Amino acid sequence: MIGNGIRGGIAIAALFMASVAAQAADLGQPYRPELYAPAPIANWTGGYIGANFGYGFGNSDWSAPAVTESAKGGLAGATIGYNYQTGVWVWGLEGDWDWTNTKGDADCGVLGACTTKLNWLATGRARVGYAGWGNWMPYLTGGVAAGNGKVSTAVGEASATRVGWTAGLGGEYAFTPNWSLRAEYLYVNLGNFDCSTACVVTGSNVSLKTNLVRGGLNFRF
């Protein structure tokens, strides 16, 4: 009887100690927070099309009469391009065409108001971007630019399509695997063209230079 009681007591004590040990083990487990999963890095390789819109501003210098105009206005157009990504670097080619109403006036005395207007603008550029910041890609860009400018005074007008250069920088954000938003700045220099018909002065030139601030939406294939 006594032996059976001792054995029963030992069994009960063992079960109790096992229960206490299990609870202590549960309390002793360190807290392991879930690891943060960073946003997936966008894959920029492939072709894309898009739309852009923005604002142009700058100065146009007339050689005779010697005046400087402050030209400004809106613009909107289409974009097409292709990117190739190697690691965190993105190499691309891009072209765009924009309608614009960038326009400026200045008082030219007997010639009345001297007016300069940029009717359209197109660029073909290379891009180099850095894709090491998640879905953000800052980039540098530069290449060729072409545009049609028109100058006029009270005695006449002249227009010409000129080819020059452009350079700038921007940033693009991929908010889905196929769609991205962008913002960029470009400086455009289309050189000078002869406005002798409008200026009534042989050899008179007008410079076509502008700064562009644009936003855009692209769809990648």
Same domain, 22 and 53: no
19 and 113 part of one domain: no
Of 21-35, 142-156, 162-176, where does the model show the most confidence? 162-176
Instruction: For residues 17-26, give the mean pLDDT.
Output: 47
- Residue 109 is assigned to a structural domain of this protein: yes
Residue 71 lies in a domain: yes
Residue 2 pLDDT exceeds 60: no
Same domain, 79 and 157: yes
What does the pLDDT average to over 34-40? 51
| Shared domain check, 113 and 9 | no
Q: Are residues 19 and 112 in the same domain?
A: no
CATH value at residue 100:
2.40.160.20
Q: What confidence score (pLDDT) does residue 30 get?
A: 52
107-149 pLDDT tens trace: 888 888 889 999 999 999 999 999 999 899 999 999 999 999 8
Amino acid type, 134: G
| 38 domain-assigned | no
Count up the domains in the chain and report the number.
2
Q: Which of 165, 183, 159 is nearest to 173 (CA)?
A: 183
Position 195 scores a pLDDT of 82
**Residue 167 falls inside a structural domain:** yes
Q: Does 163 reside within a domain?
A: yes
Do 74 and 25 reside in the same domain of the chain? no
Q: With a cut of 70, say whether residue 4 has pLDDT above it.
A: no
| Structural domain for 20, as ranges | 1-31
Lowest mean pLDDT across 35-39, 102-106, 152-156, 200-204: 35-39
| Position with higher pLDDT, 29 vs 112 | 112
Query: Is 90 exceeded by the pLDDT of residue 176?
Result: yes
Three-state DSSP class for residue 200? coil
Residue 171 lies in a domain: yes
Give the separation between CA 185 and CA 157, rounded to whole angstroms. Answer: 31
Predicted confidence (pLDDT) per residue in 179-196, tens digit: 999 999 999 999 988 887
Per this entry, what is the length of the chain? 221
Q: Within a domain: residue 39?
A: no
Q: Which long-range contacts (CB under 8 A, 24 or more apart) does 171-175 make?
A: 171/136, 171/137, 171/138, 171/139, 172/129, 172/136, 172/137, 172/139, 172/218, 173/135, 173/136, 173/137, 174/42, 174/44, 174/135, 174/137, 174/220, 175/135
Residue 40 lies in a domain: no
Contacts of 141 (CB under 8 A, 6+ apart): 94, 125, 126, 127, 128, 167, 168, 169, 170, 184, 186
How large a percentage of the chain has pLDDT more than 70? 81
What per-residue confidence (pLDDT) applies to 100?
95
Q: What is the pLDDT of residue 202?
A: 67
Could you tell me the pTM of the whole model?
Answer: 0.79
**Domain match, 152 and 192 both:** yes
Are 96 and 150 part of one and the same domain? yes
Average pLDDT of 30-48?
Answer: 67
- Whether residue 51 sits in one domain with residue 25: no
Q: Answer yes or no: are the C-beta atoms of 88 and 131 closer than 8 Å.
A: yes
Claim to verify: residue 69 and residue 4 sit in the same structural domain: no
- Looking at the fold, whether 13 and 98 belong to one and the same domain comes out as no
